[in-house]
């Protein structure tokens, strides 16, 4: 099994490197002279512009720039911001915890709400609870994050004054953004859990359990739920990706610190090194989460473990 | 709780029969409502001048930041423009971007996935690695980067949003093609001497389409979500007639004094996407009864 994990780890690494190269290529094809954007309309002599260009290595052909970028990336050098000259890596590392905390809170909200509603919905199939849960699920995946955020702001900050409208200090500032993103994730998970739970309830072994006289509670929570949670686990991996991209909008709405907000600002000011850096980290978190999810299958599901021991991945 | 669980076995037995009954009940009401919303908003997109009471460009300096009322159904914004009319006119660009992104992104992704799956071998390996790389960048981030790179225009926004969804469509299409291409009828067709192209076009493609179609239906909604997110972050198309995301974004600064400017365009987005998802769920159930979740 260690072999399988090593292989997956290696291919994940390749994916992250590949995605950062892809972003480099996209950004290279970007129209607009980065040096002129840096100078931001400040009058400058053509000589000064040329020297700045050669200082940044932007006068080199594509393959040289690409090679340099790649070598620097492997050395952990993400370059400097073209807007204010800050080193990219420390800036990202400084803001990363805030985003990770927000993502973690939102994933927790998603899981708790999503699994709870999904299970209740399947158990009370076609009842009022099912109807409500399904509607909440649909609502979660249909609401734009910025709108949910603004509505929550209007109600809980501006009208009721319970939570601060902006900032990122203390747990109180986490509640509204966490809910905003959590509801989206919950929407995906409710639908997933409900569907798999209904599928599992149709399996012959559930009939067997009922036939042998097991209590309904034990059938539901002891057997059906446990078997329904495996697909929900896959959803965690995908939800993290969804929520990470959601942080760009959510951090902007709630004026929170974080790499999502850095990305939004960097994109508007065409600060390419920062954009590349943030996307690299986002891709890494996303790929890592999915790797962990994949590996945890083998601990949770004996069938996967057995097939891995036989040599499959 | 006790009663409900006790009833379970009976429900189990009558499950098949209840399917047809259930379909005329509450969820059908939802389906009809969803269809109405989609039809109304499509009408707004096609002929806004028949529905909107005011022109979205008319600014009335005497009517700045009016709350919703009889004269202005959904209030006015800081230029004195009627918010209801803005929402009606905003439907055009919002819906256009949603549909076009699905056509471009879904079309490209579908073709890539189908060919990759059908040809197989090293082509499949390479294409799928590339798709995997593309997938590791969340769609909206890719859209953001591209939108920032190519600048705001309707075409560019469609391009940006499409790029983010290509991998999803490619994967769904490929997995379906992989299943279908090993079916006995494909083998039968090959054994009577059909060309690979005709097998692909006549048998494999049509039989692989249904999950793809479900995804495309729901995809219109999610493309609208993504594009309005771009508009919200300031990467949208700047025009005299703004789309929903732009109206909302512009109203943000007035949140404390005029909640209606942000709320209603957002409600339009949410309502439309919700309706599309309701319809998409039904399309899924109809095309794939095995997976029927509702």
The pLDDT of residue A170 is above 50: yes
Give B253's DSSP letter.
G
Q: Do the Cβ atoms of B141 and A249 come within 8 Å?
A: no
Range of the domain at B91: 24-291
Determine which of A10-19, A43-52, B20-29 has the lowest per-residue pLDDT on average: B20-29
Interface residue of B21, B29, B135, B138 to substitute, partner A, most A CBs within 10 Å: B138
pLDDT at res. A45: 76
In the prediction, which pLDDT does B113 show? 92
Query: What is d(CA B269, CA B221) in angstroms, rounded to the nearest whole number?
Result: 9
Q: Which pLDDT score is estimated for B3?
A: 45
Q: Who among B144, B245, B269 is closest to A248 (CB)?
A: B144
Q: Is residue B63 part of a domain?
A: yes
User: For residue A64, is it within any domain?
Assistant: no
pLDDT band at A284 (very low <50, low <70, confident <90, very high): confident
Mean predicted confidence (pLDDT) in A194-211: 87
Q: Which pLDDT belongs to residue B36? A: 93
Among chain B residues, the shortest Cα distance to A286 is held by: B136
Q: Count the Cβ atoms, other than its own, within 10 Å of residue B148.
A: 28
Q: What is the pTM of this model?
A: 0.82
pLDDT bucket at B107, cuts 50 / 70 / 90: very high
Residues A35, A51 contacting (CB under 8 angstroms): no
Residue A183: inside a domain = yes
- Residue A146 pLDDT grade (very low, low, confident, very high; cuts 50, 70, 90): confident
CATH of the domain at B279: 1.10.3720.10
Q: What is the pLDDT of residues A285-295, one digit of tens each?
A: 888 888 888 88
CA distance A31 to chain B (A): 7
Answer yes or no: do A153 and B234 touch at CB < 8 A.
no
- Give the mean model confidence (pLDDT) for residues A97-107: 91
Rounded to an integer, what distance in angstroms lies between the CA atom of residue B23 and that of residue B294?
9
Cβ separation of B255 and A267 shorter than 8 Å?
Answer: no
Contact A29 B133 (CB under 8 A): no
**Domain at A195, CATH number:** 1.10.3720.10
Whole-number Å distance between alpha carbons of B257 and B243: 22
B14 assigned to some structural domain: no
Supply the ipTM of this predicted assembly.
0.80
Q: Does residue A278 surpass a pLDDT of 80?
A: yes
In a domain, B8, yes or no: no
A57 close contact with B: CB closer than 8 A: no
Tokens of B18: 């209840």
Please check whether residue A281 touches B, CB under 8 A: no
Asked, for residue B200, whether it belongs to a domain, the answer is yes
Contacts of B4 in chain A (CB under 8 A): 123-124, 127
pLDDT-derived band at A308, boundaries 50, 70, 90: low
Q: Is B16 a residue whose pLDDT tops 70?
A: no
Q: How confident is the model at residue B1 (pLDDT cuts 50, 70, 90)?
A: very low
Beta bridge partners of B76: B82
What is the mean predicted confidence (pLDDT) over A148-164? 85
Task: Give the count of domains, chain A.
Answer: 1
Any domain includes B279:
yes
Q: Domain range spanning residue A199?
A: 88-310
Any B CB within 8 A of A13 CB: no
**pLDDT of B119 higher than 80:** yes
Q: Is residue A302 part of a domain?
A: yes
Point out the least confidently predicted range of A9-23, A60-74, B2-16, B53-67: B2-16
What mean pLDDT is predicted for residues B23-40? 81
A73 and chain B: CB distance < 8 Å anywhere?
no
Q: Determine the Cα–Cα distance for residues B91 and B48; give it in Å rounded to an integer.
A: 8
Q: Compute the distance between CA of residue B133 and CA of residue B127 in angstroms, rounded to an integer.
A: 10
What is the pLDDT confidence band of residue B156, given thresholds at 50, 70 and 90? Answer: confident
Answer yes or no: is A265 within a domain.
yes
User: Any CB–CB contact under 8 A between A123 and chain B?
Assistant: yes
pLDDT tens string A109-144: 998 999 889 888 888 887 888 888 888 888 888 888
Q: Is A161 on the interface with B (CB under 8 A)?
A: no
What is the residue-wise DSSP string for chain A? -HHHHHHHHHHHHHHHHHHHHHHHHHHHH--S-HHHHHHTT----HHHHHHHHHHHTTTS-HHHHHHHHHHHHHTT---B-TTT--BHHHHHHHHHHHHHHHHHHHHHHHHHHHHHHHHHHHHTTTSHHHHHHHHHHHHHHHS-HHHHHHHHIIIIIIIS--S-SS---STHHHHHHHHHHHHHHHHHHHHHHHHHHHHHHTSHHHHHHHHTT--HHIIIIIIIHHHHHHHHHHHHHHHHHHHHHHHHHHHHHTT--SHHHHHHHHHHTT-HHHHHHHHHHHHHHHHHHHHHHHHHHHHH-HHHHHHHHTT--
| pLDDT, tens digit (0-9, with 9 covering 90-100), for B210-249 | 888 888 888 898 899 888 888 888 887 777 778 888 888 8
pLDDT of residue A1: 61
pLDDT grade for B53, boundaries at 50, 70 and 90: confident
Q: What is residue A43's predicted lDDT score, i.e. its pLDDT?
A: 62
- Go through A38-58 and write b for each residue having 16 or more CB atoms within 10 A of its CB, e for each that does not: beeeeeeeeeeeeebbeebee
**Does any domain span residue A7?**
no
pLDDT digits (tens, 9 = 90+) for A32-57: 666 666 666 666 677 777 777 777 77
pLDDT(B85) > 60: yes
Residue B104 has pLDDT above 90, yes or no: yes
Is residue A307 predicted with pLDDT exceeding 70? no
Residues in chain A closer than 8 A to B256 (CB atoms): 158
Yes or no, beta carbons of A150 and B266 under 8 Å apart: yes
Averaged pLDDT of chain B:
82
B11 part of a folded domain:
no
Banded pLDDT at B67 (limits 50, 70, 90): confident
What six digits make up the tokens of A124? 């009370």
Considering the domain boundaries, does residue B19 fall inside one?
A: no
pLDDT at A313: 40
> What is the model's pLDDT at position A312?
43
Residue B30 lies in a domain: yes
For residue B6, what pLDDT is reported?
45
Mutate to test the interface with A, among B232, B254, B275, B292 (most CBs of A within 10 A): B232
Total domain count, chain B: 1
As a whole number, mean pLDDT of residues B262-269 equals 89
**Among candidate residues A186, A191, A84, A156, the one with its CA nearest the CA of residue B291:** A191
pLDDT tops 70 at residue A23: yes
Count of CB contacts below 8 A, A vs B? 152
Q: Which pLDDT score, from 0 to 100, does residue B10 have?
A: 47
Given this model, what pLDDT does residue B38 score?
Answer: 92
Among B150, B233, B266, select the one facing A147 at the smallest CB separation: B266
* E strand or H helix at B143: helix B139-150
Would you say residue A137 lies in a domain? yes
């Amino acid at each position: 099994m260690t072999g399988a994990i090593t292989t997956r780890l290696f291919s994940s690494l390749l994916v992250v490197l590949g995605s950062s190269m892809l972003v480099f290529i996209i950004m290279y094809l970007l129209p607009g002279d980065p040096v002129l954007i840096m100078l931001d309309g400040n009058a400058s002599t053509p000589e000064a512009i040329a020297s700045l260009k050669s200082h940044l290595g932007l006068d080199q052909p594509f393959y040289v720039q690409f090679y340099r970028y790649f070598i620097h990336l492997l050395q952990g050098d993400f370059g400097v911001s073209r807007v204010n000259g800050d080193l990219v890596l420390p800036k990202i590392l400084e803001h990363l915890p805030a985003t990770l905390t927000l993502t973690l809170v939102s994933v927790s909200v998603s899981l708790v709400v999503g699994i709870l509603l999904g299970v209740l919905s399947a158990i009370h199939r076609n009842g009022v609870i099912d109807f409500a849960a399904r509607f909440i699920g649909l609502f979660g995946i249909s609401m734009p994050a910025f709108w949910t955020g603004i509505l929550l702001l209007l109600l809980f900050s501006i009208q009721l004054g319970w939570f601060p409208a902006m900032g990122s200090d203390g747990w109180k500032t986490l509640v509204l953004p966490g809910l905003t993103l959590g509801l989206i994730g919950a929407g995906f998970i409710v639908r997933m859990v409900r569907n798999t739970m209904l599928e599992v309830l149709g399996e012959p072994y559930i009939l067997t359990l009922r036939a042998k006289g097991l209590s309904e509670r034990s059938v539901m929570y002891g057997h059906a739920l446990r078997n329904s949670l495996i697909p929900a686990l896959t959803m965690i991996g995908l939800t993290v990706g969804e929520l990470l991209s959601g942080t760009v909008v959510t951090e902007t709405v709630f004026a929170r610190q974080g790499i999502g907000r850095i990305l939004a600002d960097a994109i508007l000011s065409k600060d390419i090194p920062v954009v590349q850096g943030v996307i690299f980290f986002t891709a890494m978190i996303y790929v890592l989460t999915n790797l962990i999810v994949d590996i945890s299958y083998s601990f949770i599901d004996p069938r996967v473990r057995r097939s891995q021991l036989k040599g499959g991945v | 709780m006790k009663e409900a669980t006790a009833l379970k076995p009976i429900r189990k037995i009558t499950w098949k029969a209840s399917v047809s009954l259930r379909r005329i009940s509450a969820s059908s009401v939802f389906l009809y409502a969803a269809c109405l919303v989609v039809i109304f908003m499509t009408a707004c997109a096609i002929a806004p001048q028949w529905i909107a009471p005011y022109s979205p460009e008319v600014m009335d300096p005497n009517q700045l930041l009016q709350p919703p009322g009889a004269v202005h159904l959904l209030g006015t914004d800081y230029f004195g423009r009627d918010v209801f009319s803005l929402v009606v006119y905003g439907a055009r660009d919002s819906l256009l971007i949603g549909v076009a992104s699905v056509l471009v992104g879904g079309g490209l992704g579908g073709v890539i996935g189908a060919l990759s799956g059908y040809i197989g071998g090293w082509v499949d390996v390479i294409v799928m690695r590339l798709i995997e790389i593309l997938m590791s960048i969340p769609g909206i981030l890719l859209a953001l980067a591209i939108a920032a790179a190519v600048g705001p225009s309707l075409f560019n926004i469609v391009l940006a949003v499409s790029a983010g969804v290509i991998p999803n469509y490619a994967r769904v299409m490929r997995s379906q093609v992989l299943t279908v291409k090993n079916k006995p009828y494909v083998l039968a067709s090959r054994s009577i001497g059909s060309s690979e192209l005709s097998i692909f076009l006549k048998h494999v493609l049509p039989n692989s389409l249904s999950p793809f179609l479900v995804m495309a239906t729901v995809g219109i909604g999610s493309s609208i979500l993504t594009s309005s997110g771009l508009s919200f972050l300031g990467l949208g198309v700047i025009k005299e007639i703004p789309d929903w995301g732009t109206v909302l974004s512009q109203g943000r600064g007035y949140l404390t004094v005029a909640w209606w400017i942000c709320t209603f365009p957002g409600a339009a987005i949410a309502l439309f996407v919700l309706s599309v998802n309701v319809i998409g769920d039904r399309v899924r159930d109809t095309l794939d009864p095995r997976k029927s979740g509702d």
